[in-house]
Structure 1
Amino acid sequence: MKINSFVPDTKIFTDGLKPKQFVNIEEEPSVGFGDLLKKELSKVNDKQLEAEGSAISFIKGDMDLHQTLVATEEARLSLELAVQIRNKLVNAYEEFNKMQV
């Protein structure tokens, strides 16, 4: 039985020794949680206003029923999601306050 010698490629080992390039996180503008929450709540409000506008357009005869239903359903779902997120945040806040230091 003949065993062939195996010489690994040295590139495999030298690639790990090269310094990695890291992305500087500080370069990107940081967005606070409050700002993010305000932005998302503004989007929910915009959906609600859009649904109201589509209902008025439907009454006037400018918009089809299915477009109105889609807009109102999107608004309903976005509001429901916002309420669920609020509930989770309130629960997390209450749990945080129950912690003993």
Structure 2
Amino acid sequence: MKINGFVPNNEIFTKMSVGQENKIETSSNNTFGNVLKGELDKVNESQIASEDITERFIKGEDIDVHNVMVAGEEAKLSLQLAVQVRNKLVEAYQEISRMQL
């Protein structure tokens, strides 16, 4: 088995040696609060979609049971993840508030 040697990408190293700075574009849309709100909106949308597909199934529309179950599980897991993230954020806040300055 032949293993080819690693050839680094010279473009990366030349940019670094010339002194070009890597600029990180900051946007007001990428704040922590906006990202968190966006993810919570996605969780809410999955809950609404799950409820909608369940109601349509109950009304007798042609929807497979497994689609209803999958939508319900996705909504449940996204909500559980959101709760765990919230718990970790609260835990981090409490830890920071206990620090002595």
TM more than 0.5: yes
1:58-81 CA deviation, whole Å, 9 max, x = no partner? 112221100000000000000000
Separation of aligned partners in 2, 1:18 and 1:83: 45
Label 1:64 to 1:96 Cα distance change in 2 as closer, same or farther (>3 A).
same
Q: Measured at CA, do residues 61 and 20 of structure 1 come closer, stay the same or move farther in structure 2, by a change above 3 Å?
A: farther
> Pairwise CA RMSD of aligned residues?
2.1
Deviation, 1:53, is 0.3
Mapping of 1:1-101 within 5 angstroms? 18-19=17-18, 21-26=20-25, 28-30=26-28, 31-62=30-61, 63-101=63-101
Q: Which amino acid aligns with 2:95?
A: E
Structure 1 residue 20: Cα displacement: 5.2
Larger Cα Rg: Structure 1 or Structure 2? 1
**Structure 1: unaligned runs, 5 residues or longer:** 1-11
| Identity score, percent | 49
Task: Kindly provide the CA deviation profile for residues 10-64 of structure 1, in whole angstroms up to 9, marking residues without a partner as x.
Answer: xx9xx769415433213x5251111111000000000000000010111122211
Counterparts of 2:44 and 2:17, CA distance in 1: 50
Amino acid aligned to 2:85: I
Instruction: Summarize the Cα distance change of 1:59–1:95 in structure 2 as closer, same or farther, 3 Å threshold.
Output: same
Provide TM-score, normalisation by structure 1. Answer: 0.76
The normalised TM-score by structure 2 is 0.76
Distance in 1, matches of 2:23 and 2:57, equals: 51
